[in-house]
Structure 1
């Protein structure tokens, strides 16, 4: 979320940079006061003052220049922290010419405090500015990757996933270096801002009369500009940006806590929760069901000028290939609950019929009895239910909620090849393993499978290539392909290359899936496949929607006849103006279309 603040033009305040004041070694923040702020002894501070005085006496011009420069840098750092936007779209030069009211009131407070309380308050103020700056930077990062700001209540757990992602993309050493660099930068930010506020407080104390007049004048100007709405370069000049951010975060915490309680009650109500097994999914009995998610497959893949030509051609060719094999398809748009990542939120929204847009909602629903679409198949007793989860690399207790009799994670699919950045294995291999382990075997029931395809996961390099089906084997053949692939760092940070490679990855995933269906599908195969979310903002655009394509494929025409009133497009590529539903609406529409009777 970006916040707009009322503000006013920033006047020249060069007098608080200690101009015109010869330094004779009594600088408060290098002598006794700095020693007190740092917790050192009075003797140590005195020694430091004497040594500093000797250096300044020998080079007075240089010393004065350093003093003025440090003061100006301190002032600039504090102003940057007070005016820093929390979205990239807010970075305009005019935004940094505003007069922040927090600076005026903070300066007034420091002026009236005695030395020791002033230093304590200045350090605390600097720490608060450091925290505010870190949170704004987190907002920017989360907006770029997840299309939303940082949630102070729920998002701390995502840092472990972020570290794992960096490790998969850059290796263990690269991840360690990145984590250490981030920690050092954050600590330095807190320390520098604390020192900067202490420095400015000491400068004002040495020039108390001038500082007092300046603060009174700026305070008067700020109030007048705030009341009149004065603007400069199209931006309100009197700013209360930092205070607005604090208020926004307090509201966000309050709303999050309220949302948790409200959602827990919502999850208890389920119109199909008490439907008897023999009244569920009667229109699909005997069908082999495949629910397949393609990672990051969003509307931008089929509409962005860079990616669309290749992806559209792939979807057209895949539709024709399906038709040649006797299959038909219908497709529409679903609006995902997540963006850029957190794929499990999209999966659970689609399958639960509830809007799962944060981690707490995910925990709530997966620990409840709310009926998921996949568990509805299990509940009937008419299907064997399995999950193909190459992205699951540790325990996954949620399998019980999703009603999966057996789950094959990354360690159970028999893959002996290399990882492709984050993706543990190519989609072609995952589907081949599904055929070997489940679909190709004889069962006394039809299969219902949930399959996650991960080859289109960022950073979209290196990308696997399709190999002859009889050469897939244990995946060792992919070693040469991975080694010859592109370096993630060469792709991810280039705005054109990353779109091109993203499009290539979607083409690979779609081709892998359609090749599998046309090779191994039967008259009873029904495939539902969709994207879980749009790719990150670098690919889809900072203000893009959250729509993803969804298609239903079947050889039996009766299957598609049951959704004729949905208004979906023929083929795998939905028309631009095809119906758009919230992803959470799919479960109930699907259950209703295929013969399920609501219980309430």
Structure 2
């Protein structure tokens, strides 16, 4: 009988060992005897080729067992895949076999179907976790992360086109259905086999149970991995606690958001130390600590930072740097941006939605509240309506469609960083009929997948960006780059260098005594680049020509230059807003 054949019902045996779920033909074959008679039609081939039929029967049974073991033993992280992961005894499998053997025949088949569906969902859960660990270095949150699936589909569309998105979504749906169906059929088949050979199944389950207890007691390991495992149960227990925490999180966040040290400060007493200055808060996508600390990247990036420090110093600018701990890693830039600007720890989408629908004042919002700055956003990564711009206190937002760019996309990146900064100069900073500007600028060229990359050209040659068509053609192919992790890391490092060169080049070219720049990374890159690092640190730097501006932050302990030293202060990213407003406002809020 094949995996997809509905078993014929046969009478129970006198021992009670077989039940009505048996298949007479399969039972005969499994016992080693001649195959039982089969009806004519599509099963006639079993009579004509009994050995092939027996092979199919044995093969599908083995496949069913392998699928069940796979569901129970496969880890939810790619780096834990290996032969050792599957050379274990799962406690959950032994308990499930015991339950199915103990159930009366009329309930057993239904329990097998339910068990198969649950094992299929468990397998899907582990696959989803693998993807999240590869990008976000954490498992999927079953309360808060559903919105990210839509974002993932949008990322695929923007990187590989509409056709790539359709194929990816269709493939995911087909895989989901296939896993559920195959796991259910496998559970039903193995349950029927155990019922037909109940004495053997009972003895085998008892032996496995004793073996599991013995392995736990003696601490038996294979290749450093415990043979006896209850990893699936532990994982599910952690998920239950995660769901509970997610449901509690909204109340906790509301309590935190209700506290704002500057809520009652009069506008004329806010940010007094920066009046008359152009203040630029610039995020460099995926600029994480790994770019500075990793030996494979440290040399070139250090050279870029040292050269940038020298060039800015020659232009009269001082700089100091430290570290911030981001709430996210791998992706989720908007969560980091809102953490930095709101002074709240925005670690998930639920918090982000609660924040952006509240009356919480952000750092950028406080600049607008004073009435002394025009607040603008340069957000080339935004391709559709972005109502959050109003929440963040921005008078005007320039997205990818309003920067005057007529060049090509570089994979996900709509506008190269150098062009975004030149557009900011043309549209806002370079105007003579303006008041001081507070700008939030997002530099997106260092966004995953880092291939192909733009490169620095003469600022006078930027034009409308058409020059980048030729530069893109010279670049690498992301499909080829992502076949080799070392190539990915190399392209990431080059992207960070390009973003840093673009920013320091703009300050050197257009900055003046009223320019105050704060730039930082939003989060660490994906685990392919961080290579196992669990750090969430990102560099943060302040640059200014006015000595009084730099004196205000002398007590922060940040180190001179664009590169933070290993021992530089490390704050949580949500601490920055209040520290900054305290430094540049009244001595106490």
Output the TM-score relative to the length of structure 1. 0.90
CA contact (8 A) 1:460 1:492 kept: no
Alpha-carbon separation, structure 2, partners of 1:588 and 1:443: 32
Q: Does 1:351 align with 2:341?
A: yes
What residue number does 2:521 align with?
A: 531
Partner residue, 2:359: 369
Question: Aligned pair in 2 of structure 1 residues 403, 349: CA closer, same or farther (>3 Å)?
Answer: same
Corresponding position of 1:20: none
Aligned in 2, Cα 1:80/1:27: closer, same or farther, shift over 3 Å? Answer: closer
Change (3 A) 1:596 1:121: farther
Equivalent residue number for residue 292 of structure 1: 282
* Runs (5+) with no aligned partner, structure 1: 1-24, 38-45
**Aligned to 2:562, what secondary structure does the other structure show?**
coil
Structure 1 residues 323-361: Cα deviation after superposition (integer angstroms, max 9, x where no partner): 111111001111111101110011111111111111111
Instruction: Note the C-alpha offset of 1:230.
Output: 5.0
Map 1:312-461 → 2, pairs under 5 A: 312-461=302-451
User: For 1:26 and 1:162, how far apart are their aligned partners in 2?
Assistant: 38
Cα RMSD of the aligned pairs, angstroms, is: 2.2
1: CA distance, partners of 2:415 / 2:577: 29
Shift of 1:114: 4.7
1:304 matches 2:294: yes
Q: Does 1:71 align with 2:61?
A: yes
Deviation at 1:32, TM superposition (A): 3.0
**Correspondence for 2:243 among 224, 249, 253:** 253
**Conserved 8 A contact 2:270-2:581:** yes
Which TM-score applies when normalising by structure 2? Answer: 0.92
CA contact (8 A) 2:324 2:573 kept: yes
Q: Residues 49, 155 of structure 1: CA spacing in aligned structure 2 closer, same or farther, 3 A cutoff?
A: farther
SS at 2:413's partner residue?
coil
1:32 has 2:8 as partner: yes
Q: Deviations over 1:146-170 (max 9, x none)?
A: 1111000111111111111112222
User: How many equivalent pairs are there?
Assistant: 566
Unaligned runs of 5+ in 2: 11-19, 22-35
Return 515-524 or 439-448, whichever deviates more.
Answer: 439-448
Deviation at 1:571, TM superposition (A): 0.7
The correspondence of residues 46-85 of structure 1 with structure 2, limited to 5 A, is 50-51=40-41, 54-85=44-75
Q: Could you give the per-residue CA deviations for residues 220-271 of structure 1, whole angstroms, max 9, x where no partner exists?
A: 4434545665545543333222222221111100011111111111101111
Partner of 2:30: none
Match of 1:565 in 2: 555
Q: d(CA) in 2 for partners of 1:465 and 1:89?
A: 34
User: Cα–Cα, structure 1 residues 182 and 529, in superposed 2: closer, same or farther, change >3 Å?
Assistant: same
- Equivalence for 1:11: none
1:115 Cα offset (Å): 4.6
CA distance in 1, matches of 2:174, 2:528: 26
Report the counterpart of residue 4 of structure 1 in structure 2: none
Closer/same/farther in 2, CA of residues 126 and 319 from structure 1, 3 Å limit: same
1:162 aligns with 2:162: no
Match of 2:28 in 1: none
Q: 1:48 and 1:171 mapped to 2: Cα distance?
A: 52
Contact 1:30–1:49 at 8 Å: present in 2 too?
A: no
Aligned to 1:42: none
